[in-house]
């Protein structure tokens, strides 16, 4: 996989779900409904099963005819498990939807976090904007620029410590990349 096409940092709140959809639409174009649905389902799982206000990282990668969506949260113990749901139940179908839409999906766990990922068939990569980083605050999306340390626009060229802080979500920064990041614009609604 190449460097991420989109990296988002957010707190798992109901308001953030609209920001996730908005950032994906701004980056991938208007025809990314399945990607949006999978992302919202995975962030909703964090909200319901790990807790409101939990720091979350969302990454979207694009390679080999696939789009890989990764949602990382700080609880390696709360693993997603598909379950049987009564016909009139209001919830519990997220992983069933994910399983139906994705080519494959899974969970990677670390000592301090877990990443639930899925892979979807990709549309033409040309329709994607260049690499972007976004901070989702409630329903608002703010583009974030990292200071250049390698080739322009290449997130893999950023210092490893900064990426690690964003993924590890330690309590000192609440999952929000604060050092040297600045908001430059909002994504369109």
Please report, for the chain, how many H helices and E strands are present, in that order: 4, 8
Both tokens of 9, joined, read 């940092």
Please indicate, yes or no, if residue 167 is contained in any of the structural domains.
yes
Please indicate, yes or no, if residue 82 is contained in any of the structural domains.
yes
Please indicate, yes or no, if residue 1 is contained in any of the structural domains.
no
**Predicted pLDDT at 95:** 86
How much is the pTM? 0.71
Please indicate, yes or no, if residue 50 is contained in any of the structural domains.
yes
Per-residue model confidence as pLDDT tens digits over 138-187: 777 777 654 444 444 444 433 333 333 333 233 333 333 333 333 333 33
Q: What is the CATH number of the domain that holds 142?
A: 3.30.565.10
**Predicted pLDDT at 138:** 75
- The residue that leads in pLDDT, 173 or 23, is 23
Average pLDDT of the residues in 63-74: 92
pLDDT band at 86 (very low <50, low <70, confident <90, very high): low
Q: Give me the number of domains the chain comprises.
A: 1
Please indicate, yes or no, if residue 67 is contained in any of the structural domains.
yes
Average pLDDT of the residues in 98-102: 91
Range of the domain at 124: 6-186
Average pLDDT of the residues in 45-58: 95
User: Of 52-61, 98-107, 165-174, which gets the smallest average pLDDT?
Assistant: 165-174
pLDDT band at 127 (very low <50, low <70, confident <90, very high): low
pLDDT band at 40 (very low <50, low <70, confident <90, very high): very high
Annotate 63-113 with DSSP letters as a single string. ETTEEEEEEEES-TT---------TT-SS--HHHHHHHH-SEEEEEE-SS-
**Predicted pLDDT at 89:** 61
- The residue that leads in pLDDT, 90 or 78, is 78
Please indicate, yes or no, if residue 58 is contained in any of the structural domains.
yes
Please indicate, yes or no, if residue 80 is contained in any of the structural domains.
yes
Please indicate, yes or no, if residue 172 is contained in any of the structural domains.
yes
Q: If we measure between CA atoms, which residue out of 36, 81, 80, 75 comes closest to residue 54?
A: 75
Average pLDDT value over all residues in the chain = 74
């Amino acid at each position: 996989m190449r460097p991420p096409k989109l990296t988002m940092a957010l707190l798992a709140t109901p308001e953030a779900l609209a920001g996730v959809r908005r950032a994906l639409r701004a980056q991938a174009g208007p025809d990314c409904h399945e990607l949006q649905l999978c992302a919202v389902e995975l962030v909703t799982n964090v909200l319901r099963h790990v807790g409101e206000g939990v720091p979350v990282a969302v990454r979207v990668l694009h390679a080999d005819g696939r789009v890989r969506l990764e949602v990382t949260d700080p609880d390696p113990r709360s693993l997603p498990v598909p379950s049987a749901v009564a016909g009139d139940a209001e919830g519990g179908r997220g992983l069933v939807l994910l399983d139906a839409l994705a080519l494959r999906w899974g969970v990677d766990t670390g000592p301090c976090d877990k990443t639930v990922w899925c892979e979807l068939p990709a549309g033409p990569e040309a329709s994607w904007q260049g690499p972007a980083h976004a901070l989702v605050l409630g329903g608002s999306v703010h583009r974030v620029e990292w200071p250049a340390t390698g080739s322009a626009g290449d997130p893999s060229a950023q210092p490893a410590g900064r990426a690690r802080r964003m993924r590890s979500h330690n309590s000192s920064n609440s999952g929000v990349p604060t050092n040297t990041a600045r908001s430059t614009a909002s994504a369109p609604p």
